[in-house]
Amino acid sequence: MHFSATILLPLTLLIASTTSAPTTHLERRGLPGAVYICTDQNFAGDCAWQMPSSQCRIPGTGNFAPESIGPDPGGFCILYSTAVCTSQIKTIRFPGISAGLPDFGGLRCFADGDRSESRKVSANIGGVAAASELAGGVGSTTRKEVESQLKKMEEDGFKQGFIGQKKGLYY
């Protein structure tokens, strides 16, 4: 009896200490300039995530009109009274507005620090246009610099790409 208690007590303490170890919380990152739009309040109903684009977007109408809008972290959207994005009404930042959106005719979304009327192309490498706002994207100079690292990672199973090697870069 004494022998089994001598072994079981330390074993029980070891198991208890390993199960109470701190956990790592993963945080999902957004894409600055992108936006999540839903037809119902509180980000419910029909929802869609839209890629970054500073072009004027025309929202749905009637039952398909947006009731909640959420720009991704690091970006913002401007609501306009007209469908051609004139007469600014409101600026929305992350996490967005889940209810009580004003009536609006169009919207534009931007990454922080970018209020250009259209995306500028900074390079054309190998026939692929590289947007300066997506440093590290396909065709960018930054991606060319880390191409060999990316290839090795893809061979190891990261074929879907990754975010996080360097803040603000999307590979």
Cα–Cα distance measured from residue 163 to residue 130, given in angstroms and rounded to the nearest whole number: 18
pLDDT of residue 93: 93
Q: Where do the domains of the chain lie?
A: 35-111, 121-155
pLDDT of residue 127: 46
Q: Averaging pLDDT over each range in 8-12, 57-61, 115-119, which range is the top one?
A: 57-61
Omega cis (within 30) before 95 = yes
pLDDT of residue 99: 93
pLDDT of residue 155: 76
Q: What are phi and psi of 69, to 5 degrees?
A: -135, 130
| Tens-place pLDDT, residues 127-162 | 444 444 444 555 556 666 767 776 777 776 655 555
Q: Supply the CATH classification number for the domain 35-111.
A: 2.60.20.10
pLDDT of residue 160: 55
For the residues 37-57, what does the mean pLDDT come to?
A: 90
Amino acid (one-letter) located at 91: T
CA distances (Å), 113 to each of 5, 110, 169, in order? 65, 8, 16
